[in-house]
């Protein structure tokens, strides 16, 4: 019986050491340059998308959705993106999707989610340097970034975006959270 207790104590100590080593390794190998959502949002403000010319085909401001079809957070934003595609019928803005997997895969993804975008582009250094998804961007007609939101669109973020688009609050963003 004492041998069994000793073995179990040694096993617990070994597991604790392994967990501590894994945690230490992850701490040491964490990317020190990794930015928070707030840092990414701040770094995007004032930057130019596409380098030159109009981003918007209609000459209005643009809502740009940086997405990946495999991103679970992008999936959680799909309902809000559907709402944006409905609102764009009434308001003067273009809805542009920039998709990591390319425009063909992006078009299929948006179609499956019932999201109507004016343009679907492949995410690259030529279109925009965003290396995180999802990112929702408001840009002027020339592609200058006026506002950006990284991550899942919460009720507060939805309200901010809708106020910028419509100029008025839509309550609790139609229940989106």
Distance (Å) of CA 1 to CA 4, 6, 12, 14, 95: 5, 9, 17, 20, 70
State the Cα–Cα distance between residues 57 and 78, nearest whole angstrom.
Answer: 23
**pTM above threshold 0.85:** no
pLDDT digits (tens, 9 = 90+) for 139-148: 988 888 899 9
Of 22-26, 33-37, 104-108, 173-177, the range with the highest mean pLDDT is: 104-108
Q: Would you state the pLDDT for residue 37?
A: 79
pLDDT of residue 127: 57
In the structure encoding, which two tokens stand for residue 142, read together?
Answer: 């020339």
What sign does the dihedral 49-55-56-60 (CA atoms) show? Answer: positive
């Amino acid at each position: 019986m004492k041998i069994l207790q000793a073995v179990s104590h040694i096993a617990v100590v070994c597991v604790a050491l392994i967990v501590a080593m894994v945690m230490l390794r992850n701490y040491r190998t964490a990317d020190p340059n990794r930015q928070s959502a707030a840092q990414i949002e701040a770094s995007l403000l004032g930057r130019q998308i596409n380098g030159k010319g109009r981003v918007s085909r209609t000459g209005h401001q643009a809502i740009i959705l940086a997405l990946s079809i495999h991103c679970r957070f992008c999936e959680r934003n799909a309902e809000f993106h559907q709402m944006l595609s409905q609102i764009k019928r009434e308001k003067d803005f273009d809805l542009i999707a920039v998709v990591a997997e390319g425009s063909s895969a992006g078009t299929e993804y948006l179609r499956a989610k019932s999201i109507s975008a004016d343009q679907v582009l492949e995410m690259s250094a030529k279109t925009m340097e965003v290396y995180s998804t999802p990112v929702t961007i408001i840009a002027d007609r020339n592609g200058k970034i006026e506002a950006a939101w990284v991550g899942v669109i919460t009720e507060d973020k939805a309200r901010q975006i809708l106020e910028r688009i419509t100029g008025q609050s839509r309550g609790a963003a139609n229940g989106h959270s």
